[in-house]
Structure 1
Amino acid sequence: MRLVSVSLLALAVAACSSTPPIETGPVVTEVQLLALNDLHGRLEAPEEAVSVTMADGSVATVPAGGAAMLAGALKQYRTGASMTVAAGDLIGATPLASALFLDEPTIEALDLMGLEYSALGNHEFDKGVPELLRIQNGGCDQFTDRAPCALDGSFDGADFTYMAANVFLPDGTNLLPDAFVKDFGAVQVGVIGLPLVDVPGLVAPNLVDGLVFTDEAEAANALVPRLIAEGADTIVLLIHQGARGVERWDDKGCAGLSGDVLPIVEKLDPAISVVVSGHTHFSYTCTLPMAGGEGERLLTSAGRYGAFFTDIRLEFVGEELVAKRADNVVVQGEAFVGRDGETIAPDPRLPLFNPDPAVEALVARTVGAAREQMDLVVGRLSGPAPDHPDDYESPVANLIADAQLASTRAQGRGGADIAFINGGGVRAALVPGVNGHLTFEQIFTVQPFGNTLMTMTLSGAQLKALLEQQFMTAEGETREYHLIPSGNFAFAYDMTRPAGDRVVWMRLDGEDVDPSRDYRVTANNFIAAGGDGYTVFKQGRDVTGGGNDLDALVAWLADGRAVPAVGRITDLTPRR
């Protein structure tokens, strides 16, 4: 019996040794992208109220934003195979707490958040290329009116990498890196970053002199073969251009989606599976068909000011991307009281977050250092001066134009007859506090750019040509984007008239503008150098500088002002 047992055991062992090994399937990998855009240095909670449609159809309005809460939310959501990216305008047009320190605290906060790659936005160019490179590389060399390294005595630069695939120096080299491949072990993901080609029209043109901005889609597509050769299994594009018009940010059907990023997306190589966008301040997560029926592509944007981040998941089987999805997550913040007196509070049905302690301490230290200047009462106003959501004429825009005329009217200051402010240069409403008091922080929020006022001579004919540029792009396409005048000037327009002849009349001090007469015209240096497409300003003669735009507004409000009425611009377009 014992021999039989041994024989049977030997047979069993032989049988086991001939059994083929169990085959395992390809490795399944999920890669996460955490995406931001258009933070604009909002270190403190911006008191943004976000409406969220719940599963039962009800709508909750919750507070959102704040750098510490955003950092905490990213930490809570981050997986083991994650990359944090951004689509630009992280700095520039920032609140006073960040701007006083040249946005160095915002860069430090983004480092603490774990940001790795970001496209350049247009506002990263606001202070010129040398300052942009200092922000990336660090150091205390001074390139602006404000002293760098004022908060900590030193500045190490960004730990993350700004990218500019379509921005070239005169010698043909990139201003900043164009693309990278991120290794996740089983898979590799390519990343391309670029600003919109229209940057030279969105900043003072002298700030980008010598730089060449090329077509976004062409620049991105040209990098695809290199990234694939370097092992990329799919490619993500970070681009500071965006869409708008979505009826609801939380509707993935993206009803009403439009905007300048869409033609770019349609031209992209199929290897680019995800586009993280920005610029428009809209929030959306859309699935769009690729041209030629070659699959679908994600298009995302996380709104503005850190009120959202986008959680993007890419699923790979082996090296093949088989699924992708994206969700915008509201960064619920602290409760606040809205303008109508209602309390905007977090909703427990949505994710709740704890602020990141390191970022919270950084924000407190920064705001504390800036507080004395922020709280200084520097002016008075008779009541609220609203802004216009589409950058048309508004009480606050009229107030700024009047301040700029007053600042440059004296012969020694420019001898101005008229002043204009571009609608996009007005960043907020002015809402005075007790006794009509306005703080420096409030006024800075309205005019954060630190532009210089320039006064020049234009003929009446040139003045009309300038106003026509409100209604036509350089490519001859129709647009409507207003120049708001000082109170002594008025004009009317009709959009049904031919391009180049839409201005019906112009009047200065109640008299028709004479095409052959010369007028002294004030504008900020951004539009005076051709920004926003107002190239007629560049034809101006006898150009003189007239001080800082913020200083002009502070001086105008110092003794108190009434809120100006609207009515300087008359729309005569027939309405059906």
Structure 2
Amino acid sequence: MSHSRRRGQFRSALTAAATASALVVCLAPSAAAQDHSTDTTVNFSVSNITDFHGHIEQVVDTGDDGVPGTADDTVTEAGAATIAGMVDRLRAAEGIDGHIHTTSGDNVGGSAFTSALLDDEPTLEVLNEMGVDVSAVGNHEFDQGYEDLIGRISENSDYPILGANVTVEDGREELDAYDIQTITDEAGNSVDVAFIGTVTQSTADKVSPSAVEGITFANPWEVTNRIAAELSDDDEGNGEADVVIALLHEGTEPGQFTEDVDVVFAGDTHVQDSEWEGEQPIVLQNLEYGKLMSNVRFSFDTETEEVSMEPAVYTADEMATLAEPHAEVQATVDAAVVKAESAGAEVVAELEHSFTRGARGEEGPGSNRGVESTLNNLIAEAQRSYLEDFTGVEMDLGLMNAGGVRADLAAGDVTYKEAFDVQPFGNDLMYGTLTGADILTALEQQWQDPAAGRPRLALGVSDNFSYSYDPTAPDGERVIQATIDGVPLDPNADYQVAASTFLFESGDGFTALQNARNSQNVGVVDVTAFIDYLSSTENVEPRWGQSDVGVSIDGDVVAGETVTVDLESLIYTIDPTATQVTVRIGDAEASAPIDVTVLDDEYGTSGRASVDITVPEDFSGAGEMTVTTDAGTEVGVPLVESEAPSDNSGSTPGSSAEAGPIGAVVAAIAALAGALGLANVFSGGQLLADFQDTVQREINRLLS
């Protein structure tokens, strides 16, 4: 079977300036197709969406004016009714003998509010109503286990769900590998179109292990190529097809498929991909949530067995311009919205304590993203705990961005809708491996360009994580020491970190988190995990103490000398509980009251105190200072003994800037590292302090 490729009209989905009249042309048969319309030619088209995730409602960006229904409006997610209307338009296009509508998996699971609340029942219904003809299985279809996939999902889908690379043990029913659909024109000419469906091989890492127990996932490209070869080898014994289309729930790269595959509709990675240059196959990937639809128009000559293909890609806004919403689908969506509003009142948890966002001055919760808050920390802990239980992988740290927390949680009953309002953006949860140095850099990136509007964006952290920082230090050098479960972070060690896709994709400027290795998107929406944590955890309490404290020292750290320790970030800006702070160096201890005034800034400085403490007479070389409060805060600060008392002040804790010859040695080595391009080795007070401690100990050992 030979395949010829005829270059046709191809529109980028990002050509936002295209007019409706220009788009209509793409739906009419091209001159090439009309010329090829002989008695032996069958003309048909195949459309595709992917990673729908239950986004059945249309989403509109109201633009700069913020007013719906104006010229500034842009449809960003088509919604099920508009997608169905577009499919109807493609089926009715002039010169088309048949149309097949497909999806590349993740139709359900990780879904938007309305569909998720109703167990994706409305999504399964509208997919049938819009006329999906065939689908690949996605990793999300395994979320509730294989039995749920072949039961509830498959039984309520009027189309085959394909999983050619999915192997099931114990004799259980397996998914079909491929599906062949025949299109026949009025003259009786027919074409057999094969669809091979596969899912990402990393499915086993994206869902709960118990959900895929006894199931293996082979390489999707290899499996697709093998089946495509069988369908193209003229051996009727193993099935034959005239056109082969891969429904691939995985991202793809050039060269992964053979010429036996004509078109690849990819998915899973939520990106756009449009390749129509060079050898076969055409590769198309349509973002997610109904933001794009692609359509390939085929002309197949039954006599010569040649096929020509013309792809087009439509944005959600273009679909809304071209197509009338499908009335039956719209009615299903409207009914689901009403039902979800009622179901949203369901109580999912009961809290004894309130959890709030940060405040600035008297502006109230939510006005300050630069400070630590009980709710931001709670979500970070929930994500760490949930992913640990879900994956069976020990999570060292959970992180959360303050901007992703959009409402507070009051004590008492918590409804589904209230929990959803806290995290409304629908980010997926991920985990990945970061070095200690990456984590330290991410902490440094909390301090941002003041000109950008928010000088600090505080990270929520899980309950097992604490750190100290010097607010007087330069950018990139503020963090003094960080600990996980009380153990100082090792810059060279690896840690498993749980967070949202937003953070791992460097959202809010946290670019260090992009360094994550072996990262896995588990396909669970953040609010789903949050609700599960609230409902399954007994006695959910705020982290009463602070995770981070600002520390700077005025004076020389020398035995017998008194230094002043200036502290900040000792309280939450809503309902502070700490009133007294205690500083300890060895056996020495000193306390002071905390000024609990909530300050009008965005640097996390509220909760200030100054403590005078005398360095113990037996202090020598290096040690640690601890800072605690009566609310439960505890952070450590490594100290290095100064050479002798001096008139200098403002020494940085754990730094060697004022530490005599040790400081000179370290400064010289740091300068050399900078010249060699290794300056990052000395970034942050933590690693610098560790190096100083080592040098000091060795000198003391040699002199003893």
What range is the shorter-chain TM-score in?
0.5 to 0.7
Using the alignment, how far apart are the partners of 2:386 and 2:202 within structure 1? 31
Q: Which residue of 1 aligns with 2:263?
A: 274
Shift of residue 272, structure 1, vs aligned partner: 0.3
8 Å CA contact 1:96–1:444 kept in 2: the answer is no
Conserved? CA contact 1:136–1:161, under 8 Å: no
Q: Give the structure 2 partner of residue 374 of structure 1.
A: 344
How far does residue 114 in structure 1 lie from its aligned partner after superposition? 0.5
SS at 1:320's partner residue?
coil
**Partner residue in 2 for 1:328:** 313
* Equivalent residue number for residue 282 of structure 2: 298
Per-residue CA shift, 1:397-438, capped at 9, x if unaligned? Answer: 755114568999xxxxxxxx9973488xx9993334999x98
Instruction: Measure how far apart 1:173 and its partner are.
Output: 7.9
- Using the TM superposition, give the Cα deviation of residue 300 of structure 1 relative to its aligned residue in structure 2, in angstroms: 0.6
- Secondary structure (helix, strand or coil) at the match of 1:270 reads coil
For the pair shown, which has the larger CA radius of gyration, 1 or 2?
2
In structure 1, distance between residues paired with 2:367 and 2:290:
26
CA shift, 1:101, in A, is 2.4
Pair 466,433 (structure 1): closer, same or farther in 2 beyond 3 Å: closer
Distance 1:27 1:428, change over 3 A: farther
| C-alpha distance in structure 2 between counterparts of 1:470 and 1:171, whole Å | 46
- Give 1:224's aligned residue: 228
Deviations 1:53-112 (A, max 9, x none): xxxxxx995443211121112212224411011111111111232122221211111000
Q: In 2 relative to 1, CA 98–61 (structure 1 residues): closer, same or farther, beyond 3 Å?
A: closer
State the shift of 1:236 in Å. Answer: 0.2
CA distance in 2, matches of 1:44, 1:200: 30
- Contact 1:380 1:561 survives alignment (8 Å): no
Residue aligning to 2:324: 354
Equivalent residue in structure 1 for 2:123, among 106, 114, 128: 106
> Hey, what does 2:84 align to over in structure 1?
71
The amino acid of 1:220's aligned partner reads T
Q: TM-score w.r.t. structure 2 length?
A: 0.49
Amino acid at match of 1:312: V
1:237 paired residue among 243, 246, 249: 246
| Equivalent residue runs for 1:171-320 within 5 Å | 175-185=174-184, 186-228=190-232, 229=235, 230-242=239-251, 261-262=252-253, 266-289=255-278, 295-318=279-302, 320=305
**Equivalent runs, 1:389-468 vs 2, <5 Å:** 399-403=378-382, 420-421=397-398, 429-432=404-407, 439-443=418-422, 445=424, 467-468=434-435
Q: Is 1:31–1:313's contact at 8 Å kept on the other side of the alignment?
A: yes
- Give the deviation of 1:353 after TM superposition: 2.5
CA RMSD of aligned residues (A): 5.3
Distance change (3 Å), C-alpha of 1:509 and 1:167: closer
The one-letter code of the counterpart of 1:270 is E
> In structure 2, the residue corresponding to 1:312 is in which secondary structure?
strand
The unaligned stretches of length 5 or more in structure 1 are 1-23, 52-58, 139-156, 243-260, 290-294, 333-346, 387-393, 409-416, 452-464, 472-482, 493-503, 525-531, 536-545
Displacement after TM superposition at 1:351 (Å) = 3.1
Structure 2 residue runs without a partner (length 5+)? 1-36, 65-71, 185-189, 350-354, 358-364, 388-393, 439-458, 469-479, 500-516, 521-529, 545-571, 576-601, 605-634, 636-678, 684-704
Shift of residue 200 of structure 1? 0.7
The Cα of 1:395 is off from its aligned counterpart by 11
* Counterparts in 2 of 1:41 and 1:511: CA distance versus 1, 3 Å: same
> Cα distance 1:383–1:233, how it changes in 2: closer, same or farther (>3 A)?
same
Distance 1:191 1:132 in 2: 19
| Greater shift in the superposed pair: 186-195 or 370-379 | 370-379
- With 426-435 and 63-72 compared, the bigger mean Cα shift is at 426-435
Scaled by the length of structure 1, the TM-score of the pair is: 0.59
Which of 1 and 2 has higher RCO (CA within 8 Å, sep 6+)?
1
Return the letter of the residue paired with 2:176: P
Contact 2:101 2:134 in 1 (8 A): yes
Contact 1:104 1:135 in 2 (8 A): no
SS of 1:187's partner is strand
C-alpha distance 67-487 of structure 1, shift in aligned 2 (>3 A): same
Query: How far off its partner does 1:550 sit?
Result: 4.8
Query: In the TM superposition, what is the alpha-carbon distance from 1:194 to its structure 2 partner?
Result: 0.6
Q: Does 2:142 align with 1:125? A: yes
Q: Distance in 1 between matches of 2:211 and 2:403?
A: 24
Q: What letter corresponds to residue 126 of structure 1 in structure 2? A: D
SS of alignment partner, residue 332 of structure 2: helix
**Counterpart contact for 2:407–2:422, Cα < 8 Å:** no
